[in-house]
Amino acid sequence: MMSYGQFAKHLLVLAGLFALPVLSNAGELGPQPPKAKEKASAKTECVRPVKEMRKNHMKLLLHKRDETMREGVRTKEISLSECIECHVTPKKDGEYPRIGEDEHFCSSCHNYAAVNIDCFDCHSDLPKDASAHMHTLNGNNPHHKDLASKDSLKKETLDVLIEGGKK
């Protein structure tokens, strides 16, 4: 027979084992959405209480999408671009995270829950200030041509960049 003291000890160990996942969950596991920018911080809340947003953001967006698309309602409150504007914040290295990366606000939860969203097949996943200059960065419109107009590079350097130094 187990003594009372021994039984209590075993019980304690068992309780500890059960508590382990709960405790560690609070630390590292689970989705870790990045903090929003200033305007939706602890002082100024999101457009709805956080609890409601976690559960129903897709319903709000679905409703607003039809209103905007079909009836031309352009209010900013429940607009996807405004969500992105506030919630997508730069990573530690200063670059903006893209959809699919855990640092991206939407992906931080959707990756965890394995719920695929196709919003960003069409919609911009970056705030305006990030997407404004990035879209022009391709072969047809390289960055160094913008620099040329700003006189920020030496003429010789530009010749190499633009003409490939063939002159």
Residues 96-135 that bind another protein (CB under 8 A): 121-124, 126, 128, 131, 134-135
Spatial distance between the Cα atoms of 139 and 148, rounded to a whole number of angstroms: 16
Kindly determine how many residues on this chain lie close enough to bind another protein according to the rule CB under 8 A.
27
User: Which of 72, 94, 163, 164 touches another protein (CB under 8 A)?
Assistant: 72
Asked if 74 interacts with another protein (CB under 8 A), we say yes
Which string of DSSP letters, residue by residue, matches 44-108? Answer: S--SS-HHHHHHHHHHHHHHHHHHHHHH----STT-HHHHHHHH----TTSPPPPTTSTTSHHHH
User: Which of 65, 89, 147, 161 touches another protein (CB under 8 A)?
Assistant: 65
Stretch that binds another protein, among 2-10, 33-41, 70-78, 144-152 (CB under 8 A): 70-78
Of 135 and 143, nearer to another protein (C-beta) is 135
Asked if 9 interacts with another protein (CB under 8 A), we say no
Asked if 75 interacts with another protein (CB under 8 A), we say yes
Exposed e or buried b per residue across 14-28, where buried means at least 16 C-beta atoms within 10 angstroms of its C-beta: eeeeeeeeeeeeeee
Stretch that binds another protein, among 44-52, 63-71, 89-97, 104-112 (CB under 8 A): 63-71
At 167, which helix (H) or strand (E)?
A: none
Can you count the helices (H) and strands (E) in the chain?
8, 0
Spatial distance between the Cα atoms of 50 and 47, rounded to a whole number of angstroms: 9
Q: Which residues bind another protein (CB under 8 A)?
A: 65-67, 69-76, 81, 121-124, 126, 128, 131, 134-141
